[in-house]
Amino acid sequence: MSEAVATSHLRENPYELARTQLEHVGEVFGIEPNLIRVLSHCKKVVEVSIPFQRDDGTVGVFTGFRVTHNVARGPSKGGIRYHPDVTRDEVKALAMWMTWKCALMALPFGGAKGGVVCDPKSLSEKELERMTRRYTSEIINEIGPERDIPAPDVGTDSRVMAWIFDTYSMNKGHSVLGVVTGKPLSVGGSLGREEATARGSLYCIQALAGKRGQRVDEYTVAIQGFGNVGSNLARLLHAEGAKVVAVSDSRGGVYNPHGIDVPAAVEHKRETGSVVGLAGTDAITNEELVELPCDIFAPCALEQVVHAENADRVQASVICEGANGPVTPAADAILEDRGILVLPDVLANAGGVVVSYFEWVQGLQEYFWQEDEVNAKLRDIVARAFEETWQTRERYQTSLRMAAYGLAVQRVAEATTTRGLYP
Ligand code: NAD
């Protein structure tokens, strides 16, 4: 049975891109080349095969990964992706970006990521559960509350996290709340986690508006991807009075220059499985959405959607990276020349890992916070990181991405140097 599918959405090798970015950061911020050499490698890459029984009695076998990039600042943290295009190098790049994101947010975590090469939509609920439990068993010695803590990413959700939590806990003989974040509230999840990534993006957009003397309700926004990040960002921006002119998912996009009824789009997606066909909108492709006239374009789906071939046609004045790695380095250079500001992924989508950190802390303490408290603490952390990044950008006269990576890599480098090279 063949389990790999589809042509990859990746135009370039993301791990090579991540390493090139790191080398560039090393040059701009004068970081010791020995440290850059250490940080350009992942600490551990585990590849597993995942046999599981399908509903028709046949056995499917998927390939899964769990990668730890760095643990100098604490246990590693990062999501698990279920997608047909997952590759070892994609997971390695995503793990490295998690290290920088956690450091930029000043969380006591290193970076990790997991992935399974599969199309979760083609599996029944029971198949998804069996596959998830077997994947968890295969990586059970890699994860744990003091070691490596997974979370949701593309194609996984709180339900999948509950199965991981249960499988791990059954093997340990007691409930281990801190093993995974993004859990349902009934089994130790945190209030506010579901929308935390989008909320962090909103706080960045608000901070930027403040710097520019503008208001969020003046903005028009196009959002690619209508899953956890995209749909919640659309909802939050709509509630703040911004005009969401386009949204999309893997099946296509919808556009209305006068503004989309976001609650109706959420309902339409729930009923039909897609935003496509929403009343009062025109159909557009995901490629067209990238080039729409608007103030903010928020890619909230997959990597490399803004690249060398379309960066000169982007009409937004700001790109808010809800997704990880949606803008390639070649596109970054073009956008910078054109004066288009990029709110980089490690800053703009870090709200998820911040509230995952809160969930981990609450789980360890078995003491749970009110939603207002979660959101207020999230705002403090994201606003501080935004301000530090903004100041660094001014000081080094560089892009926000370079400033964010510079701050983050310096923090990881300092922890690495302070701990020393073992043995
Ligand atoms: P999700 O699975 O909930 O949603 C993904 C969305 O993207 C879906 O609407 C899907 O239809 C759409 N999509 C898939 N392929 C597409 C394509 N080729 N073109 C357009 N749309 C496509 O995933 P998510 O959790 O919302 O994650 C989205 C992005 O945000 C990823 O890059 C992820 O790494 C990043 N991210 C997620 C979190 C989180 O907390 N969930 C945190 C930080 C970053």
One DSSP character per residue, 198-228 reads HHHHHHHHHHHHHHHT--GGG-EEEEE--SH
Residues 130 and 357 sit within 8 Å (Cβ to Cβ): no
pTM of the model: 0.96
**How high is the pLDDT of residue 7?**
57
Q: Output the pLDDT for position 10.
A: 82
Measured in Å, residue 180 CA sits from the centre of ligand 1 at 19
On the question of pLDDT at 232 being above 50, the answer is yes
Report which ligand 1 atom has the smallest distance to the Cα of 325. Answer: 32
**Is it the case that residue 6 has pLDDT exceeding 90?**
no
- The closest residue, in CA terms, to atom 37 on ligand 1 is 153
Average pLDDT over residues 293-309: 97
d(CA 216, CA 237): 8
Q: Are 339 and 160 in contact (CB under 8 A)?
A: no
SS3 (DSSP) at 47: strand
Q: What is the pLDDT of residues 201-230, one digit of tens each?
A: 999 999 999 999 999 999 999 999 999 999
CATH number for the 196-348 domain, one of 3.40.50.10470, 3.40.1830.10, 2.60.40.10, 3.40.50.720? Answer: 3.40.50.720
Mean pLDDT, to the nearest integer, of 109-124?
Answer: 98
Q: What is the pLDDT of residue 308?
A: 96
User: Which residues 6+ apart lie within 8 Å of 258 measured at CB?
Assistant: 243, 245
pLDDT on residue 9: 77
**Through-space distance between the first and last CA atoms of the chain, rounded to whole angstroms:** 46
DSSP three-state, residue 67: strand
Q: Whose CA is nearest to atom 41 of ligand 1?
A: 153
pLDDT in tens, 50-68: 999 999 999 999 999 999 9
Mean pLDDT over residues 400-418, rounded? 97
What is residue 11's predicted lDDT score, i.e. its pLDDT?
Answer: 85
pLDDT at 8: 73
Could you identify the atom of ligand 1 that is nearest to the CA of residue 274? 11
CA nearest ligand 1 atom 8, residue: 227
> Is the bond into 257 cis (omega within 30 degrees of 0)?
no
Residues assigned a catalytic role: 113
Percent of the chain with pLDDT over 70: 98
What pLDDT, on a 0 to 100 scale, did the predictor assign at position 4? 38
pLDDT tens digits for range 69-106: 999 999 999 999 999 999 999 999 999 999 999 999 99
Helix (H, G, I), strand (E, B) or coil at 21: helix
As annotated, the residues of the chain forming the CATH 3.40.50.720 domain(s) are: 196-348
Kindly list the protein residues whose Cβ atom lies closer than 6 A to any atom of ligand 1.
9, 152-155, 197, 224-230, 248-250, 286, 300-302, 322-324, 349, 352
Percent of the chain having pLDDT more than 90?
Answer: 97
Domain with CATH 3.40.50.10860 in the chain: 2-175
Q: What are phi and psi of 114, to 5 degrees?
A: -135, 160
Give the helix/strand (H/E) hosting 289.
helix 286-290
pLDDT single digits (tens) 324-343? 999 999 999 999 999 999 99
> Ligand 1 pocket test: which of 96, 104, 119, 154 has the largest number of ligand atoms within 8 Å of its C-beta?
154
- Distance in Å, CA 203 to ligand 1 centroid: 19
Assigned CATH for 2-175 = 3.40.50.10860
